Amino acid sequence: MLSGCGNSDEKLMRRAEKIHNEFLTVDTHCDTPMRFEDSDFDLGKRYDDGCVDFPRMVEGGLDAEFFAVFIGQGPRNDSAYNSVHKEALEIFDSIKENITKNSSVAELAFSPGDAYRLKKKKKIAAFIGLENGYPLGLSIDRIKEYYDLGARYITLCHTSNNDICDSSTDPRGPEHDGLSEFGIEVVKEINRLGLMVDVSHISDEAFFDVINSSKAPVIASHSSSRALCSSPRNLSDDMLLSLRANGGVIQICILSGYIKTPEPNPELDAKMVELSARYGNLRELSDEQRQSFRSERREIINNYRKLATVADVVDHIDHVVQVIGIDHVGIGTDFDGGGGVDGCRSVAEMKNITKELVSRGYSKSDIGKIWGGNIMRVFREVEKIAGK
């Protein structure tokens, strides 16, 4: 299986690193822009906390990252829509500011061509995705505005239903029984402009409505396999088969609770509830208080949470390959939004995933597809269909 490599762990890692560096490597989802609320946060500095910064991207050999403009679901009225739209614009600006001040190592990217061009220049490609269509309100025109600002995918909803579709995790249950009429128009406009439709977080009914409505391949920017972990956030085998027929791709989310069904952990739950009660709304805290919160949260997680492993992550990749083939799987970490497993807690450790893939006999070509080839293929097809 590992011809010419022997059983040496060191030789295996050297081979993995060589393969890893040969291909464009893409992570389709991180929530690091939430850290930009700290006025002194700089992607160009290496941090011991959190998951993503440019020095650790270089260390881990990650060439391209999709930074999420994330807005949690809230009230659905004109006042709220205007407020969250303004908030989204501010996050777009904060991403651009962070990229601009690190222009020697990274550039904002808008297309697959940009990603490959920047890799040749040994620079990081920074893409943007909008997580949760909530800031659209009921305005189709805002899709074009977000596209012009650099968004290249839209995750239709988050953990609650919105005006576009039902969420997979809304405790109130379905509201639209899938996509709403407005949601169907949203998918059409996303297709027309050349953004990718992201089906992570949406309900099963909404997923199949998207597959039936979209003219272009779709992505699940950070989801895993329900056959291996029963979270409703993950895709069932039937959904995977429909995704293959659509030509789309599932980007395996390495958030531990979506990789392995978590065992009851009352100690962790109690500590996290107590922490949240003590600090309240993070947006109302000072920079120093937010940093203190994160430090305490990290200590609690390190002491009480049992993480899935890199091997568990690759089990999900194995399963997807077995069900729908090598051309429909990639990686979307959800770093800084809860993502991270034992052996890959930050972008600095991304090569450990490649090492595991090599150890299981994946070819160089297969690894190239998983790390970036598949998502870039979908991206190109979406661009070709735009305007039609």
pLDDT tens across 204-220, in order? 999 999 999 999 999 99
- For the cut 60, the answer to whether the pLDDT of residue 202 exceeds it is yes
| Residues 293 and 358 placed together within one structural domain of the fold | no
| Residues 194 and 227 placed together within one structural domain of the fold | yes
pTM: 0.92
Residues 167-196 have pLDDT tens digits of: 999 999 999 999 999 999 999 999 999 999
pLDDT at position 286: 82
% the chain with pLDDT above 90: 83
| Residues 170 and 299 placed together within one structural domain of the fold | no
Structure letter (DSSP) for residue 68: E
Confidence class of residue 3 from pLDDT cuts 50, 70 and 90? very low
Residues 12-57 have pLDDT tens digits of: 999 999 999 999 999 999 999 999 877 789 999 999 889 999 999 9
pLDDT at position 283: 67
- For the cut 70, the answer to whether the pLDDT of residue 251 exceeds it is yes
Q: Amino acid letter at 68?
A: A
Give the separation between CA 282 and CA 135, rounded to whole angstroms: 20
Residues 357-381 have pLDDT tens digits of: 999 999 999 999 999 999 999 999 9
- For the cut 60, the answer to whether the pLDDT of residue 6 exceeds it is no
Mean pLDDT of 273-288: 83
| Residues 181 and 278 placed together within one structural domain of the fold | no
- For the cut 90, the answer to whether the pLDDT of residue 243 exceeds it is yes
| Residues 206 and 65 placed together within one structural domain of the fold | yes
Is position 199 within any domain? yes
C-alpha 301: how far from its chain's center? Answer: 21
Is position 8 within any domain? no
89 and 97 Cβ atoms separated by less than 8 Å: no
Confidence class of residue 2 from pLDDT cuts 50, 70 and 90? very low
Is position 185 within any domain? yes
Hey, which bits of 176-303 come out as E strands?
196-198, 219-223, 249-252
- For the cut 70, the answer to whether the pLDDT of residue 260 exceeds it is yes
Which residue, 245, 278, 305, sits at the end of a domain? 305
Is position 80 within any domain? yes
pLDDT at position 168: 98
Place of tokens 């550039």: 107
109 and 126 Cβ atoms separated by less than 8 Å: yes
| Residues 163 and 71 placed together within one structural domain of the fold | yes
| Residues 245 and 377 placed together within one structural domain of the fold | yes
Give the contacts of 140 (CB within 8 A, at least 6 positions apart). Answer: 185, 186, 189
| Average pLDDT for the chain | 94
pLDDT at position 40: 86
Which residue, 305, 325, 358, sits at the end of a domain? 305
Give the separation between CA 272 and CA 341, rounded to whole angstroms: 19
| Residues 215 and 292 placed together within one structural domain of the fold | no
Which residue, 305, 334, 366, sits at the end of a domain? 305
Indicate the number of domains in the chain: 2
318 and 252 Cβ atoms separated by less than 8 Å: no
| Residues spanned by the domain of 271 | 264-305
Give the separation between CA 100 and CA 145, rounded to whole angstroms: 20
Is position 206 within any domain? yes
CATH of the domain at 188: 3.20.20.140
| Residues 198 and 273 placed together within one structural domain of the fold | no
Query: Under DSSP, is residue 350 helix (H, G, I), strand (E, B) or coil?
Result: coil
Is position 9 within any domain? no
Mean pLDDT of 136-145: 98
pLDDT at position 7: 67
Query: Under DSSP, is residue 26 helix (H, G, I), strand (E, B) or coil?
Result: strand
- For the cut 70, the answer to whether the pLDDT of residue 133 exceeds it is yes
* Residue 298, both tokens: 């990290």
C-alpha 14: how far from its chain's center? Answer: 27
| Residues 256 and 268 placed together within one structural domain of the fold | no
374 and 365 Cβ atoms separated by less than 8 Å: no
What is the gyration radius of the CA atoms in the chain, in angstroms? 20
| Residues 292 and 217 placed together within one structural domain of the fold | no
Beta bridge partners of residue 67, listed in sequence order: 30, 128
| Residues 78 and 130 placed together within one structural domain of the fold | yes
